[in-house]
Structure 1
């Protein structure tokens, strides 16, 4: 099982969005059978088995083991990943295209870049898993506050200058022997305000 799988097949995306199948994927972080899952989600074993077969057909569940139990063969299956994200390629040809936006201050361009990154990383992770290799990636995630819009503008200018200098220093021609192109994305956006109008599932349980 990998940590995150990018779903790039439309049938798999539809299956993952089904409430029952989504619940089964959650429960299948560890191997399980139709019988064991039926007790957890309170549905008939036959119905669970139908959903498991559908998930297996689109590659979201894989067979772990088959074992005999009396006159029956019990199939143990497991989700192919701990978490899933739907790749924008599923929506092709209406997936966001960064080429349609060229304004580095555009939120739409930033979203298109993020969508492209999800799709590309999904492909790379799948390829690396098959080859049993690690990907040379790096990321920074942090929160910061600005006293004013002027400070934010100054920060963006300094950040852009610093990144441009690093790119000039280390970037080599695309045809350099042994070299490989890498994608660099630097993003800055406001942090969404937390909503207090809708309690989380944990909060709902704590109220009872």
Structure 2
């Protein structure tokens, strides 16, 4: 089972986004039979089998062996990944926005994020086919700014530091050099949902 699978095919995305099927993908982090899933979801086994066939036809679930129970042999299924993301590529031209020139706009950030999902998904597929690892780097942290002025000062200092590092290490003329994308982004952290009080 892969950690994350990026869905690029529009038909597969439509199948995965259907509410019952999305729930089945979550339930199938561990192998389960149609009968067990029917009990968990409160649906008939026939209905579960129908949804499982749709998921299997798009490579989102796969057989995971058999189990004998009550004199019957049940087929087990498991999801092909622990989690799924739908690539903007699934929307075709509508999912490929032009990258806005304003690096401080939310539209620019979303366009860059979408491009990252599309590019990394393709790189993972090619690396997997070649039996090679894909070298990547990701940094994730949080920072609380005391004021908008300090946020702006941080942005300027970070830009200067990154520009300096890039100028020191970038050499596209070196034999065997391979260009990498470096994306640095920041956005306000969403507020935590309010805790529900027990009634």
With the length of structure 2 as denominator, give the TM-score of the two structures. 0.89
Among 175, 178, 183, which residue is 2:176 paired with?
Answer: 178
Q: Distance in 2 between matches of 1:71 and 1:193?
A: 52
Summarize the Cα distance change of 1:64–1:46 in structure 2 as closer, same or farther, 3 Å threshold: same
Distance 1:172 1:192, change over 3 A: same
Following the alignment from structure 1 to structure 2, what is the Cα–Cα distance between the partners of residues 22 and 96?
A: 24
> What is the rounded CA distance, in whole Å, between the counterparts of 2:81 and 2:43 in structure 1?
23
Contact 1:98–1:113 under 8 Å retained in 2: no
What is the alpha-carbon distance in structure 1 between the residues aligned to residue 29 and residue 3 of structure 2?
Answer: 10
CA distance in 2 between counterparts of 1:179 and 1:188 reads 29
| Alignment partners' CA distance in 1, 2:6 and 2:79 | 13
Map of 2:198 onto structure 1: 207
The equivalent of 1:143 in structure 2 is 142
2:178 pairs with 1:165: no
Aligned to 2:112: 113
Provide Cα deviations, 1:29-64, integer angstroms capped at 9, x if missing partner.
Answer: 111221222222221111111100000111111122
Aligned-partner Cα distance in 2 for 1:58–1:191: 35
Deviation per residue, 1:85-144 (Å, 9 max, x gap): 110011121114343x11111111011001111111222223333334322111111111
Structure 1: distance between partners of 2:59 and 2:133: 22
- What residue is the counterpart of 1:46 in the other structure? 46
Instruction: Encode CA deviations 1:136-164: one digit per residue, 9 max, x unaligned.
Output: 11111111111221111111111001101
Distance 1:71 1:131, change over 3 A: farther
Give yes or no for the alignment of 1:133 onto 2:124. no
Per the TM alignment, residue 177 of structure 1 is displaced from its structure 2 partner at its CA by 2.7
Q: Count matched residues.
A: 199
Structure 1: distance between partners of 2:28 and 2:156: 47
| Length-normalised TM-score, structure 1 | 0.86
Q: Give runs of aligned pairs for residues 15-34 of structure 1, distance below 5 A.
A: 15-34=15-34
Q: What root-mean-square deviation, in Å, do the aligned CA atoms of Structure 1 and Structure 2 show? A: 2.2
* Equivalent residue, structure 2, for 1:104: 103
Question: 1:5 and 1:119 mapped to 2: Cα distance?
Answer: 12
Question: Structure 2 stretches of 5 or more lacking a match?
Answer: none
